Structures are given as C-alpha cells and as structure tokens.
Structure 1
Amino acid sequence: MTFFKFIHSYLLALFVFAFSFGTAQAAVILVYHHVSSETPASTSLSAEQFKKHLTYLRDNGFTVMALNDLIDSLKAGKTIVDKAVVITFDDGYTDIFEQAHPMLKLFDYPYTLFINPGKVAKNKSGYLTWAQLKAMADDGVLIANHGLHHDSLIKTPEGMSQEQWAAQKIAELQQSEQILADQLGQSWKYFALPYGEYTADIQQKLQDLNYVVFTQQSGAVGLDTDLTAIPRFPASQPYDKIKPLATKLKSLPFDVAASSQRSNTIVDANTPPEQLDKHIKIKVKDFYASQLNCFVSGQGRVDVNWAADKSSFDLQIKAPLDIGRVRANCTAPSIANPGRYYWYSRPWFVKTDDGSWYKD
C-alpha cells in the first residue's frame, strides 16, 4: 500500500504542477521598421520574409491580437490567451503602407504603428503622409506615439541638465499625443521610446502621466510586466529568420520583481563591473535556477550568483560594458512547457570615454 500511496501522491503532485504552470500565459510583441529590400538592412526585412512571418503565425496556433486588447487585459489583471502576438511598427515609413498593410489586411491581423508627428508635418520623403495615415486608421490600424521628433529621452544636449531635457521631451510627447487626436481621432497614450532609451526616473514621470511605454529590449509580456517598460522583440534583419523567431514567439515572462524593472540604466564608460546595477530579483517557478543562462552584449555568456534563498541573482560581469546600447539577456527552459523558454532583458546605455553620448 505504501508504494501505491507514493505513486498516488507523485501523480497528484504532477497534476497540481501541470495545472499551475502547464497553461502558459504570455504575449510577445514584435517590432518592425521597414518592409523593403531597398532600405537599411538593420531595420528592414523583405516583403517575402514578412509574409513568411505572417504565415508562420497563422499556421502554428498563434493569436494575433490588437495592442489595446492586450494592454486592457494587463491593466485589469485578466488572463492572457497563450501564444498571443502583437505586431508593431516604429517610425511610419511609406513601405509599411505599400508593402505591409495590404498583407496584414489579407491575413486579417491587427497591428499598431508608432509615428513621429513632427516628421509627418515636414512631408519628408519616405515617411507616411497624414492622408495615408488616415486611410490606415480608417482600416482599423492603431496609431500611437513615438515622440514628436524621434529624440532620445536620455541624450541630453550640451547646456541642458538631464531633468530639463526629459521635461522638454515629455512636453513634446504630450503635444504629439494631441496632434494624433486632432489628425486621426486616436489618443491611446501608448509611447514607443525612441531608440528604446530610458531611465527609472523617466519611467515614473511617464507613469504619472498615464502612459503605457514600450522599449526595444527583448522579452515576453505577462501580468507582472512593468507597463512603463514593456519589451518587444526586434523582427527585422538579422533577427528575421523563422527558426530563431519561433523560439522568441513561444517565450514566457519571468516573474521579475517590480524594483528590478526600474534599474539604473545610464553608465559611464569604463565603469567597474561591481558598480553596475546587475542585481535581479526574481521568483523561481517553472524553471530550475541551475538552468538560467545570461548573455551580455560584447561579453557572451556570464555566470550568475544566486542568493541562498534563490530570490535573486547577480550577473557576474567581469569587464566594463561596451560603449552604446548594451543588454543582458537571460533565459531558462520551462519545466511544464518543453521547448519554451522564459526570457528577460536588462538594458544599459553606456556613454563614450569623454562623457558624451554615442551616435545613433
């Protein structure tokens, strides 16, 4: 009887574990810029490859949902349908209207376009016009804020303090939001950060103004995601191949503490590793701490040092970070969902040796 009781208890434990974690709840947001073979490769993929992305989503059980539906669910703490995907574009290039929009209509997939109204007003070649944007909006496209002029919120020009610059850019953000409302009848208060650059202080200021904010670092989205730093996976070259994209589309969100989602992001050149904000508080559930792997831009895989109670870990970075936008990407395989990985990214923005900002 003892043996059978053991088997019964073991099977019951497996059932409870599967019930708790087996039905994953995660969304992935993709970010594109150009759909063209004639534009810079680092922000582009061909129309043919973009169609392959849409076909893969359709044929592999993904639910492509509107961004506002996802955000409403997150705000309300509602269950997210598993394998949910949101499609977004930044900057508002004409090839989105000419190439991507017809394909997305054909697949009946909703999507969001983040634009800079200041650029639209200048009628710059290669950028969408208000007439084109109005036609897209009438087709159901969600059009949201990418800042008035695509200025970084952290790259302070000479003669201004960081606080003054951030205040100016946020005032322009509010102006941009009003232009969207006036021109298109849309005001979602969704903001895609230019270059994905931000600080914890900027996060708080945007939260105070009720903005939902999107970054350019990788990771899945879940109910514990900070709505002032929502990750998006880049899907242009060189990240446009189906096999690696498939892994990202099936990724899951770690349960990262709120404090670790508001980290110190600005770093001086040659800052000693021990002075970096590389502490991450996280709940270990549905993955083994020993299987967590982290990689830092320019340094490859780095070890992690877990706290004794496994409530947090430190990245064991051995050298100063490279100049520019740097990220640590951490992943771990799910126990209950074989073939799927938890994914979290920590960003740093590293100044040049003379204290100035790197060029974009």
Structure 2
Amino acid sequence: MLIKKLTFLFFICTLISSLFITSKAAVILQYHHVSDSTPKSTSISPKQFEVHLQYLADEQFNVIPLPQLVNALKNKKSLPDKTVAITFDDAYSNILSQAKPILDKFKFPYTIFINPQLINSSPKPYLSWDQITTLSDLPNQQVTIANHGLTHDSLARQTKNKSKKEWFTQQTNNLLLAESIIEEHTGKSFKFFAYPYGEYTPELQHWLNENDFVAFTQQSGAVGLSKDLTAIPRFPASQPYDQLASLKDKLYSMPLDLSMLIKDTSNHQSPITTYSSIKDVTFNVKVEDFNRNLLTCYISGIGKQEVEWISADKFTLTFSKPLPVGRVRSNCTAPSIEKSGRFYWFSQPWFVLNADGSWYPL
C-alpha cells in the first residue's frame, strides 16, 4: 500500500512539474510583408502564411491577442500550453490586402507595430490612418496597434551632432510622441514598443521600464514569466525562416532561462560591443529539465560553439572566432527531459560595431 501511495504521489508531482514547465510560456511570431513581390528577407508568401495559420489551427494552438499575453506576463499568471501571439512590423499595406483575409478565415488576432510619421507618406507602401483606425476598432482585440517608433530610426545609434544626453532625450520624446499619435487616432495606448532593427541599449531598457513600456526584440526564443519585459523575444517567421519544418520546433519551444555574464565589465549585460572585444561569455542557468550534455549553442556567422560547463548551473562559450560585425545572434537550445520532442530555447543578440567603434550599415 505504501509503495502504491508513493507511486501515486510521484505521478502527481511529475504531472504538476510537467504542467508548470509548459503552462508559463508562450511564443510570439514576427512578420513584415505578406506578399510574393516584396524583399524576400522580410516577406512570406500569402500561400506559405496560410500554411502557418493552418498548422496553428490544426494543432489547436491557443492564438491570443498580444495584450492578453502581456497582461499574463505582468501579473505572473500561467498561460495555457501552446500559446501564440502574431505580430507584424512596419504596417505595410499588404497586411490588409493579403494577410487579413487569411487571418479572418481562422479568426486569429494580431498586432501591427507602426511608425506614425511614415503613415500617409509618399510613395505609400503603408496602411493609411483610416485603415489603421478601422482595424483598431474591430471587436475583441482582434487587431492591436502598437508603437514601432516615430520613424524607423534605430534608438541605439547616437548621432554625432548631439551630446548623448540631448540625443537620448530627443529619441525618448519621439517615442512618447509616437505613442500619443497612436492614441489620438485609435483611442488606445498599450505602451508596447518593438525596437526598430531589433537594436537597443541598457539605458533605453531602463527608460522603457521606468515609463511602463513593454518592449519586443527581433531575436528568437520562447517567452516565460521570468522574462525581462523590455526584451521580449519574437521568432522571425518570414523568409528564410518560413518553412514549416523549422517553425514547428519554434512553436513548441519553451523558455531557457539564462542570465549572461560578460567578463569584460565595461560591456556587462550590454548587447552592444566592438569587434574582437568579447572573447567568451558565461551564462547562469535556471532550468533543470534538460540534459546538460545535449545543450547546443550556435552563433550567426561563426557556427556551433563548444559548451564548457563550469558547474551544474553555469557554462561558458569561448568563441571560435571573433563575433562578426553587424547584428549577431547566439541561439542555445536543449531538449526537454519531461516533454519529449520539445526544446528549451534562448537567444542572445549582440550588436557588434567596427573595431573603431563605428556602426555597421543598416
């Protein structure tokens, strides 16, 4: 009888642990164009976009409005397993002409991050204010209109004709202006911000946090309750990442909770560095549900990196080559022990400047 009771308790504990692992995570997909005639690097064809949404429907993913997801993160509330939010950057007109009919077919909500000063520009690749307002007025948070900056300028690149303080004040004022313009046209202010080009600084993150903004990046990874709300990851789902085979792993991914420690303390926790200034990084691990020997890390431009475990909860990556100049991502994944076929996923972006400290071209 005792053995049966212990077996039952073990089963219950395992079940609770399993639910805990998957019920507090979500995936956010990032798109730009839905078109056959726009730049491939920021596009997905309407046909392939429908393949994505059909898979979400067939596999019974819980596709929810982004405000609902953010509210759960803010309040540390559990999310149903297989929760997904759909986002678009830049408010291209093909979102209305090509994407919306497909989204309507599946009744999926979505978010559009816009640059208010570019709306009604000429030539006109963007949605108009009338179109944006109409979308925003749809019921049940079907469409969320959010902030992508006043224009599409990077908020990490200081201009040379202003002091750092003057430049930062101007950029944050522009961000607030963009939010007020969105609220003026839609009657709503969610204070969601998607970084243009995915570039950000610790100073900007601090300001966003102090001003109650939630910010979204462009590096991959699932979203967990412990995630920094000024660096919420999204999986790019346009070309060349639009194939369903790779998207499936991302949709079923779970957050790998890591904190990065850089030995060069001048760059501690900052994603901005200069060429060849960082030789290695060390991560603290807060997840136990994976085999340490199966953790793999890849860095764009230099490939798979050797993982050296320092302790049970800490490992180091010593780069095989200098991080290349440009936007660089490190993706670390590990298969779950309890959830067969599912992976933990973490992505760290770096913005690697030239050796002289100058920025790479956009």
Alignment of structure 1 residues 338-353 onto 2, 5 Å: 338-353=340-355
The CA distance in 1 between the partners of 2:200 and 2:276, in whole Å, is 20
**1:23-53 residue CA offsets vs partner (Å, 9 max, x unmatched):** 5122100000000000000000110110111
Deviation at 1:320, TM superposition (A): 1.3
Aligned to 2:13: 16
Tell me whether 1:73 sits opposite 2:72 in the alignment.
yes
The structure 1 residue matched to 2:287, chosen from 284, 289, 314, is 284
Q: Alpha carbons of 1:101 and 1:259: their partners in 2 closer, same or farther (altered >3 Å)?
A: farther
CA distance in 2, matches of 1:209, 1:93: 28
User: Identity percentage over the alignment?
Assistant: 46
Query: After superposition, what is the alpha-carbon deviation per residue over 1:102-161, rounded to whole angstroms, capped at 9, x for unaligned?
Result: 211121100000000010143542111101111211223100000001111111222334
CA displacement at 1:237 relative to structure 2: 0.2
Cα drift, residue 272 of structure 1: 4.5
Aligned to 2:242: 240
Matched-pair contact (CA < 8 Å) for 2:148–2:194: yes
CA contact (8 A) 2:150 2:178 kept: yes
Q: Structure 2: state its 5+ residue gaps.
A: 263-267
Instruction: Classify 1:258/1:171 alpha carbon distance in 2 versus 1 (closer, same or farther; 3 Å).
Output: farther
Q: Which runs of 5+ in 1 are unaligned?
A: none
TM superposition shift of 1:246: 0.6
Matched with 2:273 is: 267
The answer for the alignment partner of 1:183 in structure 2 is 185
Question: Is the CA contact (8 Å cut-off) linking 2:26 and 2:81 kept in structure 1?
Answer: yes
Deviation of 1:355 (Å): 2.4
- Summarize deviations over 1:42-98 as a string: whole Å, max 9, x none: 000110110111100000120100000001111111111110000000001000011
- The letter for the 1-side match of 2:16 is F
* Partner Cα separation in structure 2 for residue 330 and residue 177 of structure 1: 34
CA distance in 2, matches of 1:225, 1:163: 28
CA contact (8 A) 2:111 2:144 kept: yes
The residue correspondences of 1:19-98 to structure 2 (distance < 5 A) are: 19-22=16-19, 24-25=22-23, 26-98=25-97
Deviates more, 1:173-182 or 1:296-305: 296-305
Question: Which residue of structure 2 aligns with residue 150 of structure 1?
Answer: 152
CA distance in 2, matches of 1:18, 1:338: 14
Over 3 Å counting, the alpha-carbon distance change for 1:285 and 1:245 in structure 2 is same
Whether the 8 Å CA contact 1:151–1:169 is kept in 2: the answer is: no
Equivalent residue runs for 1:185-264 within 5 Å: 185-257=187-259, 263-264=269-270
Is the Cα–Cα contact under 8 Å of residues 31 and 90 in structure 1 kept in the other structure? yes
Which letter does structure 1 place at the counterpart of 2:61? F
- Structure 1 stretch displaced more, 136-145 or 342-351: 136-145
Counterpart CA distance in 2 for 1:336 and 1:161 is 52
Helix, strand or coil for the counterpart of 1:188? coil
1:236 Cα deviation after fit: 0.2
* Equivalent pair of 1:31/1:234 in contact (CA under 8 Å): yes
Which secondary structure state, in structure 2, belongs to the residue aligned with residue 307 of structure 1? strand
8-17 vs 81-90, which deviates more? 8-17
| Structure 2 residue aligned with 1:298 | 301
How much has 1:284 moved relative to structure 2? Answer: 3.2
Distance 2:35 2:15 in 1: 43
1:164 aligns with 166
Distance 1:294 1:158, change over 3 A: same
1:305 aligned partner, one-letter code: E
Distance 1:10 1:288, change over 3 A: farther
Going from structure 1 to structure 2, the CA distance change for 1:81 and 1:163 (only over 3 Å counts) comes to farther
Checking the alignment, whether the CA contact within 8 Å between 1:269 and 1:320 is kept in structure 2 is yes
Alignment TM-score, normalising by the size of structure 2:
0.92
For residue 257 of structure 1, report the CA deviation from its aligned partner. Answer: 4.5
Greater Cα shift, 73-82 or 22-31: 22-31
Give yes or no for contact 2:299–2:328 (8 Å, CA) kept in 1. yes
Alpha-carbon distance in structure 2 between the residues aligned to 1:103 and 1:117? 25
Task: Report the CA distance between 1:166 and its aligned residue.
Answer: 2.8
- RMSD value over aligned CA atoms? 2.0
- What is the SS of the residue equivalent to 2:224? coil
Take 1:162 and 1:244, find their aligned partners in 2: how far apart are those partners? 41
- How many positions carry a matched residue from both structures? 352
In 2, distance between residues paired with 1:317 and 1:148?
Answer: 37
1:14 is displaced (CA, Å) by: 5.4
User: TM-score when scaled to structure 1?
Assistant: 0.92
Q: Which amino acid aligns with 1:155?
A: R
Aligned-pair distance for 1:267? 0.9
